[in-house]
Structure 1
């Protein structure tokens, strides 16, 4: 975004306050400067030369979760996310915290496998300290990328071919979800490709005001995925989907047009009569009361949470009369709310992050569910800090349990 567009967008804001209704940071602090309206006012003052980017000023801009709720509730449809991403590029040179974190992130993401190998000898110590500070769940294990070369999972009677954009959290914390995805799409008769040259989607860098670095990563991913002859590029992370579909055109002028969230792609595609069941008998009977936690970027940007719910209900209907029924009672909290992760937000503002998490978990617990289902690996990571008495499943695991044969 250029400076002219940035100024035009913040001048469009009429300060109506519609952005406050679901803003996680405002609901946590009840302060005007913790709303999109308040932050836009600060940016107005900055571009008019009335204020300078002081430490406190910068903290107010960094304390935004970038969840998209404000833009989703803006009556003028102002692209507030692009406004706040651009604002961070402005303050970065005046913010020591962002500069140091950005420098370390650039080193860490340059070769994530090398980074993980370097911390492995100290992983237990690091985990214990970070878990005590509520910066990460207990017993998390960081792993190397499972694919040292491009992984291809062949399907019998193939009807198509898909590529999976894994994302950093799945690749290095929850790699089992990559294999769940492979089994699901193979059962649906799709060949599955995991390109080894995939890099970070770029969102962490944008959140730190590192636009040039985000562009470099976007170009690398575009180069990799645009050359693949696939029917779709699918991600199990809503944030990655938003980045590939929405951010890349703004950053590099090219978007990956055939990018899908798992719920979008599988809509209408699960037919139990056409699924490859040659691997053996169906999985055991599933009877579960589960509450659905809808991630912010799914709710506010992809806006396809209803498709996730319908997907689970479709599985229930199609398996209702089978020998091994799949029966999930899908519950809803009184209010869908942010988990409080927001990447670096959970580190910079850990107290607020954990307060937001606590309120969300309270709402989930009120349902008396036996499990939590979500569509975001980062939400799984964050929710696991506070939920130890019930499992937290990614949607792909639920689909795998319903349609694939026993191992």
Structure 2
């Protein structure tokens, strides 16, 4: 169950020494997909691609669990049905108060293992921003890929993204027909659904005719930048060339005035931003100018979330996260910023379980508050 162990399983599978079984699936899905092994491997082994190929083949041989398969293939590509599913699940949970085992990490898999989803927003981002606010003589037109967690739960992140970009004289287009990036489907080996989602997203943003495409979710960003190449090939090249993480985009193209906040803030590196996209300096530069920045110990260490890993191995996920919670508290910061809504959810869960009053926010929210203070 370590990187070399799973590589050995891949070799044994290739050589016919083992076969596709439920036990093999357990070994593959116990990977957090933090990408660190691929990033630091001195031989340059693309471990993640090898594991993903095995997972795809595994799904072809033994299939995907029934309920996740229904959600991925029926609901995920259909936004209205997916919205209805989420609202129905939320209402059901209020009526039947099941024992809470922890916050849900990936919304499409809400029914697995009795997990609860977090409170849904009263108004989803894709509904709230259906109309594009026109900017007089905008510097550029930018498409905003929202992602599931920001659309349905952390709408405050989207509000901060839009407010910051408007402050920088950028017109923000949020195509209402965009869909999930496809990472839940990819994680379970559902190649067909992942391709359908990717094709829709690429087409929708091409039709928007924007100069750039930004996202505020590390996992979505990494999926769009890398996985779409494997799924769609050259068809996605122009789409991927326009993609930026919000911190990467702002630091590359803009200068701005701030009034630094007096709040002491630390920063957690999302795996899919630090290891997956090599982005770590830009968010820190933003935070150093926007607040009283305090680096924590081993900020690049995984918080333990890991999407499906958290669902299948919740206790282990929380044990991994204990180290992150301790280092956040030890930093003396009053808040911790991050660039991934999935990490934010995990960290909030970890801190709440310890009775901590430290808050977790997105980097862009800190920048927005510092911009507001400077007005």
Shift of 1:157: 4.1
Matched, 1:376 2:370: no
Shift of 1:125: 5.4
Q: Specify which of 294, 310, 326 is matched with residue 346 of structure 1.
A: 310
Q: Using the alignment, how far apart are the partners of 2:139 and 2:373 within structure 1?
A: 19
Q: Which residue in the other structure is 2:368 paired with?
A: 400
Shift of 1:349: 1.1
Q: Specify which of 84, 90, 103 is matched with residue 114 of structure 1.
A: 84
Q: Using the alignment, how far apart are the partners of 2:101 and 2:71 within structure 1?
A: 20
* Structure 1 residues 146 and 264, CA gap change in structure 2 (3 angstroms): closer
1:152 partner SS: coil
Contact 1:58 1:95 in 2 (8 A): no
Contact 2:175 2:208 in 1 (8 A): no
Moved more, 333-342 or 149-158: 149-158
Q: Using the alignment, how far apart are the partners of 2:98 and 2:295 within structure 1?
A: 35
Q: Using the alignment, how far apart are the partners of 2:245 and 2:218 within structure 1?
A: 7
Q: Residue by residue, what CA displacement relative to the aligned partner does 1:10-42 show, whole Å, maximum 9, x if unpaired?
A: xxxxxxxxxxxxxxxxxxxxxxxx211100101
Q: Which residue in the other structure is 2:119 paired with?
A: 141
* Structure 1 residues 235 and 335, CA gap change in structure 2 (3 angstroms): closer
Shift of 1:150: 3.3
* Structure 1 residues 349 and 247, CA gap change in structure 2 (3 angstroms): same
Q: Using the alignment, how far apart are the partners of 1:246 and 1:234 within structure 2?
A: 15
Number of aligned pairs? 352
Contact 1:235 1:261 in 2 (8 A): yes
1:331 partner SS: coil
Q: Using the alignment, how far apart are the partners of 2:339 and 2:165 within structure 1?
A: 17
Shift of 1:104: 3.0
Q: Using the alignment, how far apart are the partners of 1:101 and 1:357 within structure 2?
A: 26
Alignment of 1:297-376 (within 5 A): 297-313=272-288, 315-316=289-290, 327-376=291-340
Q: Using the alignment, how far apart are the partners of 1:163 and 1:398 within structure 2?
A: 22
Structure 1 runs (4+) deviating above 6 angstroms are none
Q: Which residue in the other structure is 1:76 paired with?
A: 43
Moved more, 150-159 or 363-372: 150-159
Q: Which residue in the other structure is 2:175 paired with?
A: 195
1:340 partner SS: coil
Matched, 1:241 2:221: yes
* Structure 1 residues 79 and 151, CA gap change in structure 2 (3 angstroms): farther
Q: Residue by residue, what CA displacement relative to the aligned partner does 1:169-204 show, whole Å, maximum 9, x if unpaired?
A: 100011121111111000000011110000001111
Which runs of 5 or more residues in structure 2 are unaligned? 106-115
Q: Using the alignment, how far apart are the partners of 2:65 and 2:317 within structure 1?
A: 18
Alignment of 1:5-404 (within 5 A): 34-93=1-60, 95=62, 98-109=65-76, 110=78, 111-124=81-94, 129=98, 132-136=100-104, 140-143=118-121, 145-148=124-127, 150-253=130-233, 254-255=236-237, 256=239, 257-272=241-256, 286-313=261-288, 315-316=289-290, 327-388=291-352, 389-404=357-372
* Structure 1 residues 76 and 125, CA gap change in structure 2 (3 angstroms): farther
* Structure 1 residues 108 and 350, CA gap change in structure 2 (3 angstroms): farther
More helix by share: 2
Q: Using the alignment, how far apart are the partners of 1:373 and 1:221 within structure 2?
A: 28
Q: Using the alignment, how far apart are the partners of 1:140 and 1:62 within structure 2?
A: 23
Shift of 1:355: 1.1
Shift of 1:332: 2.2
Shift of 1:103: 2.9
Q: TM-score, normalised by structure 2?
A: 0.87
Q: Which has the larger radius of gyration?
A: 1
Contact 1:153 1:182 in 2 (8 A): no
